[in-house]
Structure 1
Amino acid sequence: MTSSLVVDGGSPLVGDIEVRGAKNLVSKAMVAVMLAEERCRLRGVPEISDVQIVSGLLELHGVVIDSTDRDGELVLDPTNVEQAHIADIDTHAGSSRVPVLLCGPLLHRLGEAFIPDLGGCRIGERPINYHLDVLRTFGAVVEKRQDGLRLTAPNGLHAADIHLPYPSVGATEQVLLTAVRAIGRTTLRGAAIEPEIMDLIAILQKMGAIISVQTDRVILIEGVDRLGGFDHLAIPDRIEAGSWACAALATRGDIYVRGAQQLPMMPFLNVFRRIGGKFEIDDDGIRFWHPGGTLNSIAIETDVHPGFMTDWQQPLVVALTQTAGLSIVHETVYENRLGFTDALVDAGAHIQTFRECLGGSPCRFGRANYQHSAVISGPTPLQAAEITVPDLRGGFSYVIAALAAQGRSTVHGIDLIHRGYERFSEKLDNLGAVYKLP
């Protein structure tokens, strides 16, 4: 992988690409393997660095992974799970936040777990206190050490009543991965209900878990003594599909996203249509294109599912620079996710950020000192620039901007993009992008 991409922009992206399993599901499904006592088979696995990182963490704990000669398929054998060395875990910590999700399964299997200092994209605080509070509620004992946190469960893990103050995806995953083998019946209120969460629940049910999704974000989990293996095709990545859709809009292109599904993308499709983009759905995917003429400005706010997801926001902002009038984006999920707009301004976009909650209802950042609303004035032609990737979705957005801009741009730090977008260069080739890897 190279660290920079030189792009000659100004041409429409036209062609056919494929999305496979969702990054936000596949890594959690791999963690769920640690709960099993039989081999597991996961299909639709994308070639992204996050999968490599989680594979490395699982192998450190004794999971045998076979991916030989099967494109997009992993066979994982967790029958001989063991405790990994702290130093080995720590070598992976700078690239992944998965170690915190391994805690519940490891406490069930081994009675002990370790969390090093955690990495991940710097888009917000994303504190692990939700996770630690959840684990303590189940009976875990957390011991602070110089190099991280050691967790034990001297009396085993027992069911709990948990009410999340915010429907955090990570905390919901933590509860599910811990409660399925805890003694008794767990009630989770305020749960996240993203499609990837539902797919994880489907996997756990295949393994033998008893999980009931109620109304009003309530999930009931009855603990079982043992979990078996699973065979599962991962839900396709709706974030990647939306990202390429925004690229079609920003470059006045026409992209068929094979594998994209309508149901998990409904909030995005509504916004895409309101802007003036066109799409067509068939059994194999969704075609997104710019119909010509003027695009419409819009006011949106990100939210947890079933709202407009935060990971769609950054690529959409690039497309909004090409709409007529003032668009408003109110980010309510991550407090620091609009910092990427500075580089777009350098490339000619007219974007201002504000601390106030604009264009929607007040959110939890409204009284804090965070620039979490943006006003985009357009259409503005984007010009070539030299920019550095700040985080995964912001990085893809910069590539979209470079492809839409007139002239030659250099995007530095594109290795980060490979965390969530597989075969990136191959897809750019399929769409007729003009670029080079220096």
Structure 2
Amino acid sequence: MDRIAIIGGARLEGVIPISGAKNSAIKLMAASLLTDEPLRLTNMPRLADTRFLGRLLQRLGTEVEEREGENGAETLLHTREIVSGIAPYDLVRQMRASFNVLGPLIARTGQAKVSLPGGCTIGARPVDLHLEALRTLGATIDLHEGYVYAQAPRGLIGAEIVFPFVSVGATEHAMLAAVLAHGETVLTNAACEPELADLADCLNKMGAKVTGAGTPTIRIEGVARLGGATHAVIPDRIETGTFALAAAMAGGEVRLTRTRSDFIDTLLDKMEEAGVGVTRHEDGVTIRRNGGRLQAVEIETDPYPGFATDLQAQFMALMTLADGESVIRETIFENRFMHAPELARLGADISVSGGEARVRGVEALEGAPVMATDLRASVSLVIAALAARGETLVNRVYHLDRGFERLEEKLGACGAQIRRVAGDSESED
């Protein structure tokens, strides 16, 4: 299994183009099940997760073609007919978001059998809200032997769905199902992430009638059918924030392009509070750090537009070298401090109690072998390694490949001493 080797101490100088948003792309791909016409997605990231979902969609009947368009990578998806309504465990287990094919399958064919996605290293992340939303829309849901059996032979019926707490996945799933339901659906206490608005924009291009996406109340007027469309995936705000933090950690000056700084305003405000130079541009943001120690700051994760839980691990890495004690509170997922012990292997001083971590800045980090535990934790180790003395070897980087496109290439082009090393899986077990 591959590893990534980083020799720390190199300052970063240059430009990093940001890829399309993973968390948007995979839901847009699922939307292709809702129509028998082609859906063309541009600005597509090339990731393990998008390829996992592509294989599942092909099993269900979608023709999936990855190709290079005039403006970069694009994917053409065409589901002329659903050839199978079964999403098996061996495919769903590889990526939780693939569970979101359930809603489109029910909406288009009236039935589906989809495996439950199973556990997650960063918390339970149950699908109860997904299933309750589909029940509210009129689907009959039964659970047997790890599978969800769903039926709505006469079609889904519009309804009011009130989420007890904000859930991005459940909001997206309900939207994907409700666009073909009879009548109006109102989603209350909906998630407000930019990916929700992106999904709604795409669905509306396909002929749906969705308003309010990006606000706590989304209204969906069901239509009889959807057609094809061409849609550009929004920039990845988590990748944007990750490279911003990498630049701040290593020092130097890096311009992030093909993205939107307003997607990560909360992060950028905290980085400025810590002493990082930030300049916002129309097409991105420039990050500068030209000497001087950063200041410790306090953060608490919250649903958008709050501080993103998917940037918490990366921010913790930055705080390991800050002056003073920073407090990081995780309110979204339990078990999301598994990167803390690995950062400690590099010399970080971190104590964790429940949903709170205290990071006492140290003078320097030292390179060491470390182990990635999940997608965002793995890249936090890369960020820390950029400033550590000597070499750091990050194991289990298949986590990174799920969500970061050409990570080594993008950092290496700015001067990072980073390379991928082939390794055998036995030594990582």
TM class, shorter-chain normalised?
over 0.9
**How far does residue 414 in structure 1 lie from its aligned partner after superposition?**
0.5
Question: Pairwise CA RMSD of aligned residues?
Answer: 1.7
Which of the residues 388, 405, 409 maps onto 2:388? 405
**How far does residue 212 in structure 1 lie from its aligned partner after superposition?**
2.0
More displaced 10-residue stretch of structure 1: 254-263 or 389-398: 254-263
Q: TM-score, normalised by structure 2?
A: 0.93
Partner of 2:321: 322
Asked if structure 1 preserves the Cα contact closer than 8 Å seen for 2:196 and 2:213, the reply is no
**How far does residue 294 in structure 1 lie from its aligned partner after superposition?**
2.4
- The change in CA–CA distance for 1:73 and 1:120 in structure 2 (over 3 A counts) is farther
CA distance in 1, matches of 2:41, 2:269: 31
Percent identical: 36
**How far does residue 84 in structure 1 lie from its aligned partner after superposition?**
5.0
SS at match of 1:79: coil
- The change in CA–CA distance for 1:245 and 1:216 in structure 2 (over 3 A counts) is closer
Partner of 1:180: 179
SS at match of 1:135: helix
- Which ranges in structure 2 are unaligned for 5 or more consecutive residues? 423-429
Asked if structure 2 preserves the Cα contact closer than 8 Å seen for 1:130 and 1:171, the reply is yes
- The change in CA–CA distance for 1:94 and 1:216 in structure 2 (over 3 A counts) is closer
Q: Does 1:385 align with 2:359?
A: no
Partner of 2:403: 420
Per-residue CA deviations over 1:58-104 (Å, capped at 9, x if unaligned) read 11111112223434111211222221555xx3321221123321111
- The change in CA–CA distance for 1:311 and 1:120 in structure 2 (over 3 A counts) is farther
Aligned partner of 2:73: which letter?
G
- Which ranges in structure 1 are unaligned for 5 or more consecutive residues? 355-370
Aligned positions of 1:183-222 closer than 5 A: 183-213=182-212, 217-222=216-221
Aligned partner of 1:308: which letter?
F
**How far does residue 209 in structure 1 lie from its aligned partner after superposition?**
1.3
Aligned partner of 2:24: which letter?
L
Per-residue CA deviations over 1:298-345 (Å, capped at 9, x if unaligned) read 111110011111111111111111211111111111111112111111
SS at match of 1:67: strand
More displaced 10-residue stretch of structure 1: 170-179 or 118-127: 118-127
Per-residue CA deviations over 1:213-246 (Å, capped at 9, x if unaligned) read 1897111111111111121111100100110111
Aligned partner of 1:94: which letter?
R
SS at match of 1:314: helix
**How far does residue 271 in structure 1 lie from its aligned partner after superposition?**
1.2
CA distance in 1, matches of 2:6, 2:119: 27
Partner of 2:8: 9
SS at match of 2:324: strand
More displaced 10-residue stretch of structure 1: 127-136 or 2-11: 2-11
SS at match of 1:323: coil
**How far does residue 7 in structure 1 lie from its aligned partner after superposition?**
1.9
Q: Does 1:242 align with 2:225?
A: no
Aligned positions of 1:160-179 closer than 5 A: 160-179=159-178
CA distance in 1, matches of 2:292, 2:90: 51
Asked if structure 2 preserves the Cα contact closer than 8 Å seen for 1:327 and 1:376, the reply is yes
Q: TM-score, normalised by structure 1?
A: 0.92
Asked if structure 1 preserves the Cα contact closer than 8 Å seen for 2:92 and 2:99, the reply is no
Partner of 2:80: 79
**How far does residue 353 in structure 1 lie from its aligned partner after superposition?**
1.2
**How far does residue 385 in structure 1 lie from its aligned partner after superposition?**
1.4
Asked if structure 2 preserves the Cα contact closer than 8 Å seen for 1:349 and 1:380, the reply is no
Runs of 4+ in 1 over 3 A off after TM superposition: 68-71
Partner of 1:435: 418
CA distance in 2, matches of 1:189, 1:156: 22
Asked if structure 2 preserves the Cα contact closer than 8 Å seen for 1:350 and 1:380, the reply is no
Partner of 1:288: 287
